[in-house]
Amino acid sequence: MPESVSIVPAPRYVEPGDGPGLGLGAGVGLLVGPHPAEIALGVYVARLAERIGIGPVDMLSADDGRDHLIELRLDPAAGPVDADPAERYSLVVDHRRAVVRAPAVTGLYYGVVTLRQTLCSDPSGLVYAPALRVEDAPRFAWRGLSVDVARHFYPVEDIELVMSLMGYYKLNVLHLHLTDDQGWRLDVASRPGLVERSAGSAVHGAPGGYYTSDEYRRIVAFAASRGITVVPEIDVPGHVNAALHAYGELTPSGEPAEAYTGIEVGFSRLSAGLPATRRFLQDVFTDAAAMTPGPYVHLGGDEVLGLEPDEYAALVGIAHDAVRDAGKVVVAWQEAAGVPLAPGSVLQYWDPRTGQAELVAAAAAGCRVLMSPGSRAYLDMKYDAAYPRGLEWAGHIELRDAYDWDPTLLVPGLRTESVIGVEAAIWTETLTTVDELTEMLLPRLTAVAEVAWTAAGRRSWDSYRRRVAAHRDYWDLIGVRWYPSPQVDW
């Protein structure tokens, strides 16, 4: 990659062009197609141009032959022909135009992001795009971030900021961990008591909160504008103290559980023998699926320490069937690998200490595997022992730790084609503000994004650390807090 270019994640193919590139001053033209999604992207680009000081753009619906133009064009042949047309794109910049082509609007958005990352300023302050050619497509179809809003709640505005960062680094799945022992964060029509009684609590007495159906729709709509699919997680049959607190009929005694604001795990559980349990699982997963236009619903399945295997399998099976009956694909944590799951279901691998043989067997039976190894992709782990926030159970994760790994080599015996993708995760037991959240995410989220997007043979730590250093200016511009890793010359 040219030394002057700081694209993250690294594209599949990039070469410098001839000449000085394209100057972008006031009055630059923006040519977009007639489809509503193209127009919406054009509006986004026009607003972006004003925010970064280019000035007003002339939005055009027809090519009038002018120079000094950004062109967004849907083109079924654009991008690497061996890649999924949904996300591939090309970008060509010369002294006349910057042309983004893609078969689909998501690819156009990624091309715009790449163009944005290349922008520079000359000594006079003129913004310009260097001459270059990019042909690009992702390695993995699933490139995600899981955000825990149950331990500490984050309002819609904070989640939109996180999604803006995700889009900038071409991540395409937001996995929301919406329920846990400490709080229930999604208002579902069948069980209003869940938010009435269990949304107000959070770790160590912090303020709680929840998403109304309108707020959840707002998250989904914002996600779609960035090419992101939302995957809601209702975590069962463990991590359910908030549900037990709201509805006493889910406990063997019939009495509601006490609210819980600590950070221990594994102590709460549903009971398969109670009449209320099956109806509860069917109702809440049906509701979550109905609120979610994307194809996936996550049923949890992790860290249930007080259940015998048969009862665990029965409870996961009820949730699995409810998700399937609602027309969605099941996602579950790796512990569910021992339960019969429909082919195409996704198992999320997080803990290398156990369960690898079961995971390989489930993949051989048709499940897909999502890689979220705690020692690489859990971005709530401390940067080092002295860092004031975060946990340490999976060790410390400095920037290079988040970068130097291959998702297809983690589990012996797992076929490469079974790996659907990569997902970072950030758990919020120790994170109370959006500043603390972004400081844990950045810069490590960019490293995981490159692992997910860029083929292993095209990645280089030395190249990445040079490129990511230039992104501090973007983070400062949008006002997010980040961690100055000593492994990078900022």
Active-site amino acid positions: 303
pLDDT of 1-59, one tens digit each? Answer: 666 689 999 999 999 998 889 998 777 899 998 888 889 999 989 888 888 878 788 88
**Confidence at 292, pLDDT banded by 50, 70, 90:** very high
The mean pLDDT value of the chain amounts to 96
Lowest pLDDT segment from 49-58, 216-225, 384-393: 49-58
Query: Would the pLDDT of 174 be above 90?
Result: yes
CATH 3.20.20.80 given to domain 142-457: yes
pLDDT given at position 4: 66
Supply the pLDDT for residue 67.
Answer: 85
User: pTM for this structure?
Assistant: 0.97
Q: What is the mean pLDDT of residues 449-474?
A: 97
CATH superfamily for domain 13-136: Chitobiase/beta-hexosaminidase domain 2-like (3.30.379.10)
Instruction: Write the pLDDT tens digit of every residue in 372-386.
Output: 999 999 999 999 999
Domain residue ranges of the chain, discontinuous segments joined by + = 13-136, 142-457
Three state DSSP letters for the chain: CCCCCCCCCCCCEEEECCCCCEECCCCCEEECCCCHHHHHHHHHHHHHHHHCCCCCCEEECCCCCCCCEEEEEECCCCCCCCCCCCCCEEEEECCCEEEEEECCHHHHHHHHHHHHHHCEECCCCCEEECCEEEEECCCCCEEEEEEECCCCCCCHHHHHHHHHHHHHCCCCEEEEECECCCCECECCCCCCHHHHHHCCCCHHHCCCCCECHHHHHHHHHHHHHCCCEEEEEEEECECCHHHHHHCHHHCCCCCCCCCCCCCCCCCCECCCCCHHHHHHHHHHHHHHHHHCCCCEEEEECCCCCCCCHHHHHHHHHHHHHHHHHCCCEEEEEHHHHHCCCCCCCEEEECCCCCCHHHHHHHHHCCCEEEECCHHHHECCECCCCCCCCCECCCCCCCHHHHHCCCHHHCCCCCCHHHEEEEEEEECCCCCCCHHHHHHHHCCHHHHHHHHHHCCHHHCCHHHHHHHHHCCHHHHHHHCCCCCCCCCCCC
pLDDT score recorded for residue 3 = 61
Share above pLDDT 70 across residues of the chain, in percent, rounded to a whole number: 99
Whether residue 64 is predicted with pLDDT greater than 90 in this model: the reply is no
